[in-house]
Amino acid sequence: MILTIFGATGDLARRMLFPSLYHLHKQGRLPNDLEIVGFARRELSNEQFCEYLSDEFKNLYGNVFNLESWQKFCEKITYFQGDLASEADFQRLGKKLAEADTDLQSCTDKIFYLAISPDLYPQTFSGIRKSQLESICEHTKHVRVVVEKPFGKNLKSYYELNNNLIDIFDEEQIYRIDHYLGKETVKNILNFRAANPLFFNDWNKNTIDRIDVKVMESLGVGTRAEYYDEYGQMRDLVQSHGLQLLSLVMSELPDELTADKIRNSKTEILQSLYVESMENDVVRGQYGSGIIDGYPVKSYKEEHEKLVESNTETYVHIKAHSRLETWEGVEINLISGKRMQSKETSITLHFKSQERVKGIPSKNKLIFQLQPSEGITLDLQVKKPGLNELEVVPMVFKYQDNFRVLLPDAYESLLLDIFKGNKSSFISNEELEASWKFIDPILELWNTENSRPVIYPAGSKYLQIN
Ligand code: BG6
């Protein structure tokens, strides 16, 4: 199996992909025959490339670095100097990949991972097409392509990009990654629902009143200002991570957890979403200066000279509903922001309050906590000792307390899925199309001349929706 990473010296490859591959290597979980080809523009030898990767790795995870195993890991890696704009370089790559097959006398699996800025996708697709890398093996199932988010900038550009992609690859070859789907709590959602009858009956409008999906970060845009300013919080987080979490938690529990069934179920949710009033049910914010953890932080506009006049949103709150009868009337809140008071990613289901026994209104909440520490909490009401009053108490499950293992990083888990050809944690074309269709009208509205984000102080907890 040969994994070619385009953009091998970039941020994603260096900070996420190679460290995940090394962790897997250390645990002996990589396919035995895996070879990794790092494709990037700089002039580097194999040794220099590996050193470059190890510097970053030591920076991030110095405590788990082991020279001997790192050297073994490096034996799997070949650096390939190439330019994504050069057809000749793609041809050279094709030849190199084919050589490995000649040695083995069979066509080994080839995976092409596009760890590059979305702007470079079209030329990369064109390079792949012209050098026929997609059909480097006779059977298409031996060749896979992995694309990152955001895939497109709006519905129109998504269609254009996707047409390029499906023109080259069959759907079964395409892995659309969203790293949130690799997080342990997220992978657990359907299992948890299926394995606990308390929850699989009446997981709908009869018992659930409101669903909140929050993806909050205290970080600002940091060094990614130029990329971020073009995409904003809506495309960078809501269209992808936020909607994926929502569709997973609301999806009809399939009778088998197969990739097709899971993805169809999520598509049904995504296609059913709507916003009642664009004016009242959508908030768009941008952080001003403020204080986080006691330290002053700059406003978004001050982060980079190119942002001075920017209207890009760093905060989004959408109040939505579903057209499906099962979810009729249930309020859905998608909230995501940068430079908020603290990092918090969670999905909260608020159960309906009922008064089955006079004077005792019910109140339950189920929270899937992804960050800061992964787990599930169920809020229950109990009688306070000695008093005739109720109090809400949490029943808490934390991975670190129950399992005492280091949770696999999301990318580790997704890379293993790609190697095995398991698509259940990857986004289908239909899901992606439905996500863009849902947010496109909001983006269009924001594109109008007088539309401006509300400025909020960095360190805010949330912004008020009307
Ligand atoms: C990425 C976004 O997909 O997710 C970033 O591009 C964001 O802007 C990041 O910071 C958050 O990921 P995580 O796993 O730290 O919640």
pLDDT digits 0-9 by tens, 164-189: 999 999 999 999 999 999 999 999 99
Angstrom distances, CA of residue 23 to CA of 10, 29, 109, 403:
19, 9, 22, 19
Q: Where do you find CATH 3.30.360.10 in the chain?
A: 181-406+428-458
Burial-class residue 234 by CB neighbours within 10 Å (0-12, 13-18, 19+): buried
User: Tell me: the pLDDT tens digits for 388-414?
Assistant: 899 999 999 999 999 988 888 999 999
pTM reported for the whole predicted model: 0.95
Our answer on whether the CB atom of 148 is closer than 6 Å to any ligand 1 atom is no
User: Tell me: the pLDDT tens digits for 188-210?
Assistant: 999 999 999 988 888 999 999 99
241 included as an active-site residue: yes
Omega of the bond prior to 150 within 30 degrees of 0, cis?
yes
Instruction: Count the Cβ atoms, other than its own, within 10 Å of residue 413.
Output: 20
For residue 180, give the ligand 1 atom closest to its CA.
14
| Closest C-alpha residue for ligand 1 atom 9 | 237
For residue 241, give the ligand 1 atom closest to its CA.
3
To test the pocket of ligand 1, the residue of 213, 229, 237 to mutate (highest count of ligand atoms within 8 Å of its CB) is: 237
CA distance 256 to 274: 28
The per-residue pLDDT string of the chain (466 residues; one tens digit each, 9 = 90 and over) reads 999 999 999 999 999 999 999 999 999 999 999 999 999 999 999 999 999 999 988 888 877 888 999 999 999 999 999 999 999 999 999 999 988 777 777 788 999 999 999 889 999 999 999 998 888 777 777 899 999 999 999 999 999 999 999 999 999 999 999 999 999 999 999 999 999 998 888 899 999 999 999 999 999 998 889 899 999 999 999 999 999 999 999 999 999 999 999 999 999 999 999 999 999 999 999 999 999 999 999 999 999 999 999 999 999 999 999 999 999 999 999 999 999 999 999 999 999 998 889 989 888 999 999 999 899 999 999 999 999 899 999 999 999 999 988 888 999 999 999 999 999 999 999 999 999 999 999 999 999 988 899 999 999 998 987 6
Domain 181-406+428-458 CATH (choose: 3.90.1150.10, 3.40.50.410, 3.30.360.10, 3.90.1200.10): 3.30.360.10
User: Is domain 2-148 annotated with CATH 1.10.1060.10?
Assistant: no
Both tokens of 450, joined, read: 């007088």
User: Tell me: the pLDDT tens digits for 346-375?
Assistant: 999 999 998 889 989 888 999 999 999 899
CA of 458 to the centre of ligand 1 (A): 18
In this structure, the strands spanning 174-176 and 143-147 are: parallel
Q: By three-state DSSP, how is residue 126 classified?
A: helix
